[in-house]
Amino acid sequence: MKDAKVIELEEVAIRFSGDSGDGMQLTGTLFSDAAALIGNDISTFPDYPSEIRAPQGTVGGVSGFQVQFGKKEVTTPGDYAHVLVAMNPAAIKANARFMDPGGTIIYDSDSFTEKNLQKAGYETDDPFTESNLLDFRKIAVPVSTLTRESLKDFGLDNKSVLRSKNMFALGLVCWMFNRPLDYIEEFIKNKFAKKPVVADSNIKVLHDGYNYGMNLQHQTPTYIVHSADIENGTYRNISGNQATAWGFIAAAEKAGLELFLGSYPITPATEILSYLSERKDLGVKTFQAEDEIAGISAAIGAAFAGDLAITSTSGPGLALKSEAIGLAVMAELPLVVVNVQRGGPSTGLPTKTEQSDLFQALYGRSGESPVVVLAASTPSDCFFYAYKAAKIALERMVPVILLTDGFLGNGTEPWRIPKMAELPPITPRIAKDADTFKAYQRDENLLAREWAFPGMKGFEHRIGGLEKNISGTVSHDPENHQKNTEIREAKVQRVVDLIPDLEVCGDPDGDVLVVGWGGTFGHLISTVRALRKEGKNVSLAHFNYIKPLPQNTMEVFKNFKKIVVCELNLGQFAGYLRDKMPGYQYYQINKVKGLPFTVNELKEGINKLLED
């Protein structure tokens, strides 16, 4: 074993890994919060299986949580982990490929039994050699034994005792990274306020884990990661799904409307429904529907009746909602559809991330059925794009699809909390003059109709899925249909005046423009920064507005020798750009492994392009 030392790092990534039932998600979350609270910037990535409790000890049942924190801005959870906490052999097997060469592996040696090694698919009793992890610092800690010892006076049964194993590991890691325990203690006390024995036992094990590290100083490296240099303000940790839910709450308040969510549980979007259903205190109405279709249908009903109406889902759910989105297009009602994308098609990779629903969002409906499409790019900016989606829907009487993904939805990062007063106004197009009101009368410039809902005296009118004339009467007139089809498309295009110009991160011209959209921003900006540090003439243009595209897109593109579109699909955005921004050769870097990009693979791809 190498000598222990103090390692000073700009940023460090830790991966907590164990059985689905080992509490690794909680362990990772608590550690991340503790890191953020003392001023590090962080980025997290929960990586868990779709089975809630896959067979114990198997690779399929491994649940992981990676957090990167640092003294500078942290934009990704890290390609590779510097430290792996493995609660069983399966965790080693599953995570070997995510390890940074030369890193540290802390493992529960008690769980490295013949049986568990077998379950993990190891053929020998030396998993480290088998997984090619020889050049790592390995610290064997008999976590189960030590936890049992720690709690021997608590009179708990064996099962309850072992449930605290994760706290031992957490304590140990906190010592290694010099994180104080007070925040975690506070959390445990609150969580188990009604079960003081559970709270006390977990805190005891946490401390014993911490002290164990201290006593083993000669073996265990410690790391120093200084606080990050970030903008002043009040911060909190927030996940993409939480930020999305809260963005809608903020939008409803700003617009002076009640908020309605119709939704059906689906991974990885369910949390949006949970977060909003918690907010009865703010009058949020959540409707857990009988299926995806009823979720959006109820939302459309609520939009018809004057609420800010939202529906949330993931890929397959969006497919089920297609017909109803068409109705919202035809009825020209304000509606926001959130799609937290996951690996597809079909059930695909429900817990893994992907960007392969772009075409579905743009085109996945019958008829000419244009909607506005936005994409959030970091966990915290889900708040702003949810807010913005609501603003566009309400001010332009148009359905908006907001794309996030599993990586954003589950990932967290510190977020400087905005004040409501800082957010732009939202002015719903509520009709005012009953005498002149007609259902499909439009603003000449915006092409948006007015919104009048049941209960408004004198505004009684009928809308529906059939093509209509201006006053809302059914019309099969050929000219009228042609005209309205064009108007619905033009109305979406005119939203361009609500969206900002595309920004270039880097120089406004150069050899390569890296183009991305949505949840890959963190990895792309890290890549571009790294390449620029190496003196490469590379910039980034990242899209949050997909339909319509920012007005200056062409301007930005024309100043670069090569454009490479990087996305987690087989090239959907590249295809879209070929259609909408013709005249350029779009190179592609694509990945569909259910995982985010790594900075390394992006660098490799872009370097190759620079050399060619």
Partner 1 sequence: MTDLSYTIKDFKSENEVRWCPGCGDYAIMNAIQRTMSGLGISKEKFAVISGIGCSSRFPYYMSTFGFHTIHGRAAAIASGVKIANPDLSVWVITGDGDAMAIGGNHFIHTIRRNIDMNIILFNNRVYGLTKGQYSPTSDRGFKSKTSPYGTIEDPFVPGQLVIGARGTFFARSIDSNIKLGEAVYKAAAKHKGTSVVEVLQNCVIYNSGVHNAITNPEFRADRQLVLEHGKPMLFGAENEKGIIMEKGRLKVATIGENGVTMEDILIHDAYEADPTLHMAIINMALPDFPVAFGVIRNVASPVYNEEMDKQIRLVKQTRKINCADDLLSSGNTWEVTGRGNGKGKLKDCRGKKLE
Query: Which residues in the 289-328 window bind partner 1 by CB under 8 A?
Result: 289-291, 293-294, 297-307, 309, 323-324, 326-327
Q: Is residue 130 within 8 Å of 124, Cβ to Cβ? A: yes
Give burial (CB, 10 Å; 0-12/13-18/19+) of 366: exposed
- Minimum gap (Å) between residue 189 Cβ and partner 1: 14
Phi, psi of 380 (to 5 degrees): -75, -30
- Minimum gap (Å) between residue 126 Cβ and partner 1: 43
Binding mask 88-107 for partner 1 (x = CB under 8 A): --------------------
| Contacting partner 1 within 368-387 (CB under 8 A) | 377-378, 380-381, 384, 387
Report how far residue 427's alpha carbon sits from residue 270's, in angstroms, rounded to the nearest whole number: 29
The pair of three-digit structure tokens given for residue 186, joined into one six-digit string: 């506070």
Question: Among residues 55 and 180, whose Cβ is nearest to partner 1?
Answer: 180
Q: What is the DSSP string of 400-448?
A: EEEEEEHHHHH-EEEEEPPPGGGSPP----B---TTT--TT-B-TTT--
| Contacting partner 1 within 27-66 (CB under 8 A) | 33, 36-37, 39, 41
- Minimum gap (Å) between residue 100 Cβ and partner 1: 24
Number of other CB atoms surrounding residue 382 within 10 Å: 32
Question: Among residues 345 and 424, whose Cβ is nearest to partner 1?
Answer: 424
69 binds partner 1 (CB under 8 A): no
Question: Among residues 260 and 586, whose Cβ is nearest to partner 1?
Answer: 260
The backbone region for 181, taken as left when phi is positive above 0, alpha when psi lies in -120 to 50, beta otherwise, is alpha
Which of 146, 190, 195, 148 is closest to 172 using CA atoms?
146
Report how far residue 23's alpha carbon sits from residue 424's, in angstroms, rounded to the nearest whole number: 41
- Minimum gap (Å) between residue 237 Cβ and partner 1: 7
Number of other CB atoms surrounding residue 442 within 10 Å: 16
Binding mask 210-249 for partner 1 (x = CB under 8 A): -----------------xxxxxxxxxxx--------x--x
Question: Among residues 64 and 518, whose Cβ is nearest to partner 1?
Answer: 518
123 binds partner 1 (CB under 8 A): no
- Minimum gap (Å) between residue 466 Cβ and partner 1: 6
Contact residue for partner 1 among 127, 171, 240, 262 (CB under 8 A): 262
Q: Give the number of residues in contact with partner 1, rule: CB under 8 A.
A: 93
Q: Is residue 506 within 8 Å of 532, Cβ to Cβ? A: yes
Question: Among residues 234 and 445, whose Cβ is nearest to partner 1?
Answer: 234
ω into 370 cis (within 30 of 0): no
Contact residue for partner 1 among 100, 258, 443, 507 (CB under 8 A): 258
Q: How far, CA to CA in Å, does 11 sit from each of 45, 147, 229, 301, 322?
A: 15, 30, 13, 49, 43
Question: Among residues 253 and 489, whose Cβ is nearest to partner 1?
Answer: 253
Contact residue for partner 1 among 464, 477, 555, 604 (CB under 8 A): 464
- Minimum gap (Å) between residue 333 Cβ and partner 1: 9
Question: Among residues 39 and 265, whose Cβ is nearest to partner 1?
Answer: 39
Contact residue for partner 1 among 124, 194, 218, 455 (CB under 8 A): 455
| Contacting partner 1 within 327-366 (CB under 8 A) | 327, 331
Report how far residue 517's alpha carbon sits from residue 600's, in angstroms, rounded to the nearest whole number: 19
Q: How far, CA to CA in Å, does 152 sit from each of 81, 146, 201, 265, 465?
A: 34, 10, 10, 41, 68
Report how far residue 394's alpha carbon sits from residue 389's, in angstroms, rounded to the nearest whole number: 9
Question: Among residues 59 and 504, whose Cβ is nearest to partner 1?
Answer: 504
Q: In what order do the strands lie in the sheet with 372-375?
A: 285-288, 259-263, 308-313, 335-341, 399-405, 372-375, 545-547
Angle, helix 196-215 to helix 182-191, in steps of 10 degrees? 160
Question: Among residues 90 and 337, whose Cβ is nearest to partner 1?
Answer: 337
Contact residue for partner 1 among 125, 486, 503, 604 (CB under 8 A): 503
Report how far residue 333's alpha carbon sits from residue 325's, in angstroms, rounded to the nearest whole number: 10
Q: Is residue 437 within 8 Å of 459, Cβ to Cβ? A: yes
473 binds partner 1 (CB under 8 A): yes
- Minimum gap (Å) between residue 573 Cβ and partner 1: 17
Considering only the stretches 45-53, 147-155, 459-467, 581-589, report the one whose residues sit in contact with partner 1 under the rule CB under 8 A: 459-467
Burial 467-499 (b: 16+ CB within 10 A, else e): ebeeebeebeeeeeeeebeeebeebbebbeebb
- Minimum gap (Å) between residue 32 Cβ and partner 1: 11
Question: Among residues 55 and 283, whose Cβ is nearest to partner 1?
Answer: 283
| Contacting partner 1 within 148-207 (CB under 8 A) | 183
| Contacting partner 1 within 397-426 (CB under 8 A) | 416-420, 423-424
Question: Among residues 112 and 384, whose Cβ is nearest to partner 1?
Answer: 384
The pair of three-digit structure tokens given for residue 226, joined into one six-digit string: 């200084």
Please name the helix (run of DSSP H) or strand (run of DSSP E) that holds residue 505, with its range, or none. strand 504-505
Say which residues have a Cβ less than 8 Å from residue 232's Cβ, sequence separation at least 6. none
The backbone region for 528, taken as left when phi is positive above 0, alpha when psi lies in -120 to 50, beta otherwise, is alpha
Tally the C-alpha atoms within 13 A of residue 380's C-alpha that lie toward its C-beta.
Answer: 19
- Minimum gap (Å) between residue 366 Cβ and partner 1: 11
Binding mask 519-558 for partner 1 (x = CB under 8 A): ------x--------------x-x-x--------------
Question: Among residues 175 and 304, whose Cβ is nearest to partner 1?
Answer: 304
- Minimum gap (Å) between residue 17 Cβ and partner 1: 25
Give burial (CB, 10 Å; 0-12/13-18/19+) of 527: buried
- Minimum gap (Å) between residue 208 Cβ and partner 1: 25
